Structure 1
């Protein structure tokens, strides 16, 4: 028997035909062409969000007008970042709704609202129908955004006793109002080319050209006495084109590199984290603690973002913030010790580049730091130097932990050869055949130290430097620092070099001052400059008492009969270690002179760049400092 065949219906069921029709209507304009309206609106939002104003404008029916209004709106708002999120598209009216989230310079919280992007056909092409209300529903033709603000007084930076390190100085902030410059523009630029203003005029022209003509463009801030005597008359003829604001500057006579400077906010500065509450024309931190703690010191301005009509009438308020004053930053600096550190840098370094750091041995608080010259980078904290023989304090700790005693024999020979490389002592040190390890430390004998290299492993110095002295860990001091590097040796030669603070070993004066402080107190306390707000510091760690006492006695012996006898007459418990570190420059081998020391509760490190030796170059600086501290 054959099977009966069933007929396939010749008509598609209605339900299925409806589904197909709906599906097709979503991708066709009825003439068989794909409907790109929603995609065009989304592309417009994506390019606008990415900052591609020309690209977004070219998707509209009026690219020139769209470019102008989108650009002006961003300038008026002082827009930092924008997020435009598509919501729903309506085929009935050809409109894509979206939600906006705008981050505006100087306004703490984002501004949020909804708007819509209409789409039309033009010359058989889908385009955005440009209208200013795309930017904001109430941003009608002729309207402008207004971002007004008043900054609070800047909070001070204080010393350890709560007294201001940065004092108040009357000043005048000079700005241009582009819309008012008119025919006087060239005369204004000519006046501002005077050296008293210290301005790059071509760069200023470019800034003005790119700025909102109805908002002031910062030019320079001058002390009020300088403005009155040298600048006021030059700017007087230009009336409303010049905006003058009386302000108070935070200036410091002490610890200038640590406290840092304050100046006019520029575009590059405002992009940095911590400057979200600041805006063009504000006085903001440019360096040092002033920059690190900008958000805290600068406070929150009283601000209001509005849409205003063509006649200046208020149409809508988009954001309003009640300002808050800044709060002080309290440091660990001792003004007397800081003044002394700056004095010895100026008077005892023979004009050579040098740095000094002083630390409270009981807490790790930084009492003073200074450099000569007192400009440029803060080498006392950030310098990368071979520490030379001052690092023998760390090597001594490693060898003592490995079982070596200060009384154990360790001949100080003229040279020692390691894997074909010859190491020698500093010029002037005579051989000491019957030396023990304590004598090697006291006289800073390289060969005596290197002869003990088999007692430690390639990574021993790395471990001891980190575990006992905190070197190479990440220190939050409250300022930018280099916290040292002691990488494991990858050869016998590298290990030998590391034992005397050469090779790949690197440290800053701050790191070596901390080594001296750890030995003096018997506890590693991470150095820190800022006391309030509190920092997340590396945990303090006691040194093994027996080890700590031996290291302290070794440093005291250097003062009593070794390379730091210039400190012998200083009263109190005094210990030291000298160092002469070699480095290469221009094909020549040069040296930096180091000394680290402690006196009772203060530890200090000094480096004199290109100094002949630690004793000759750094010794007089440490002597002058510890004699007066």
Structure 2
């Protein structure tokens, strides 16, 4: 379990009280029994003839405080939870925590030494042993309790607070001893170099996810510690736009905050240090470094670069190191979704590159009126021209010819999206293209409605076009753990694939993606996108592209046109692939 180290009295708990007055000693294995002596300190509370009302209102004496503490501490030491709990102001809460003292916390062989009462308070020193499986460490700290009169009969009792058990325990916490988090992992790039947040700041969520998934598999062991953890987490475990996008605005999207995990709590005593395992990833050190630099220079940006023919993720980066939009984001992708929509229309024979395709100023469906950026229109335009210009109405006009699930089927069957079955090696969001009706279905064709993607998903879309078939992206090679990768149920027809590549190539040459993609041809293609989001003054800018065997996608939230803001990030990474 790793190197052990002893931890002295913890974190400034105060000086040890004078060991006079109340004394609890000579505990044996378990909680055991021991001598318990009270030295006279004043008038005894025994034999009182006061009425209940008089007792409720009577000031506490030193004898009252000593007597209440004696009853509580003696029962606690002996393991008599019922008696100890009854000697407090909240027996039920005290019973739960005192039971957990030996159960969840694994604390045994406890003895207490108390000082003289000071007003209604009394300090006591705790000496015990914390045990977890074959590990054990001595526990020593100074505690404090206060005494109040019980509401029902005025008898002195210990005022219950979890801090009676340990001074660092908050009211909503309990003590637990066990593995503290996941086993750590030393993550390596594809060349064997160590990946750290010092070198690659935005990899924090990735490294955490690697530890969670591969810590023990890679030979690591987690730390073992006595911790203060949220009581509710323990109970749960026990129970357990522009550029052509102008539809109505979407509600605020999830930008990819790290998955919520059970709180690890605060360490109070370490029994065994963690030891790291080792896992190799597909990340390319040079390309990862470049990706970090590009997003650092562009606020609210995220990017993913991958190899199209294999699915290997070569770089993933976010300008905000705490928010993994690149892999876990859930955002409307705007007109980049038209790559998938075009594949569907081409396969259904509802569009052909050189066939005339309507691009009016407006197009209505399902009660919504859609328009193009700046309300432009193109007369006698071909489908290729409409795609390159990112004409919304060219797609909305086809909605009446589609079934509600046509786009969903295309996304799932050909592009492998929205099935929640990707096994990347780290936590990801695998895209969502839900079946919708009426206006939301039409909006989905242009990447709004209920469609949700992130740069990983959209890089995979371009990779599917470049490679000719879907290859599930992965950051940890499947040979590391023998896991199976997701598969698409069918490939795109060869005729549709050829036309789709032509559409993306023409967009990179002469369409909305031409400026950032300049000089990267001829084996290349791209699509821009802009998604308006409710509550944002500016839309999210998207860009997805491929060059040779490499594909990438980026989003810059609250920026504007995708070609202007996200495009240069993608182009820089594709250019660096040689």
The 5-angstrom pairing of residues 206-605 of structure 1 reads 206-207=168-169, 251-258=196-203, 260=205, 287-297=208-218, 299-300=220-221, 327-347=277-297, 349=298, 352-373=299-320, 375-403=321-349, 404-427=351-374, 430-474=376-420, 475-491=422-438, 493-531=439-477, 532-540=480-488, 542-566=491-515, 567-585=517-535, 590-605=538-553
Quick one: which of 548, 557, 570 aligns to 1:609? 557
Distance 1:328-1:354 versus aligned 2 partners, 3 A rule = same
* Equivalenced residues, count: 392
Distance 1:430-1:72 versus aligned 2 partners, 3 A rule = closer
- 1:179 maps onto 2:179 in alignment: no
Alignment deviations for residues 559-588 of structure 1 (CA, whole Å, 9 cap, x no partner): 1111111112124511100001111107x6
Higher strand share: 1
Contact 2:107 2:129 in 1 (8 A): no
Q: Secondary structure at the match of 1:596?
A: strand
Distance 1:412-1:479 versus aligned 2 partners, 3 A rule = same
For 1:202 and 1:433, the matched residues in 2 are separated by: 80
For 2:128 and 2:366, the matched residues in 1 are separated by: 80
Deviation (angstroms), 1:523: 0.9
RMSD (Å) for aligned C-alpha atoms: 4.3
Distance 1:294-1:63 versus aligned 2 partners, 3 A rule = farther
TM-score (norm 2): 0.59
For 1:333 and 1:360, the matched residues in 2 are separated by: 11
Q: Which residue of 2 aligns with 1:74?
A: 103
Higher relative contact order, chain-length normalized (CA < 8 Å, sep 6+): 2
Deviation (angstroms), 1:536: 2.8
The 5-angstrom pairing of residues 117-128 of structure 1 reads none
Deviation (angstroms), 1:344: 1.2
The 5-angstrom pairing of residues 610-629 of structure 1 reads 610-629=558-577
TM-score (norm 1): 0.55
Distance 1:610-1:78 versus aligned 2 partners, 3 A rule = farther
Contact 1:259 1:289 in 2 (8 A): no
Distance 1:70-1:617 versus aligned 2 partners, 3 A rule = closer
Q: Which residue of 2 aligns with 1:29?
A: none
For 1:177 and 1:481, the matched residues in 2 are separated by: 42
Distance 1:464-1:205 versus aligned 2 partners, 3 A rule = same
For 1:369 and 1:78, the matched residues in 2 are separated by: 45
Distance 1:488-1:59 versus aligned 2 partners, 3 A rule = same
Q: Which residue of 2 aligns with 1:40?
A: none
Distance 1:582-1:202 versus aligned 2 partners, 3 A rule = farther
Gaps of 5+ in 1: 1-52, 80-141, 152-175, 184-200, 219-248, 262-284, 304-322
Distance 1:324-1:612 versus aligned 2 partners, 3 A rule = closer
Deviation (angstroms), 1:469: 0.6
For 1:382 and 1:490, the matched residues in 2 are separated by: 27
The 5-angstrom pairing of residues 135-154 of structure 1 reads 146-147=131-132
Q: Secondary structure at the match of 1:594?
A: strand
Deviation (angstroms), 1:145: 6.7
Alignment deviations for residues 308-344 of structure 1 (CA, whole Å, 9 cap, x no partner): xxxxxxxxxxxxxxx9976422211111111111111
Distance 1:212-1:389 versus aligned 2 partners, 3 A rule = closer
Contact 1:402 1:455 in 2 (8 A): no
Structure possessing the higher radius of gyration over alpha carbons:
1
For 1:78 and 1:298, the matched residues in 2 are separated by: 29
Farther-moved stretch of structure 1 (538-547 vs 382-391) = 538-547
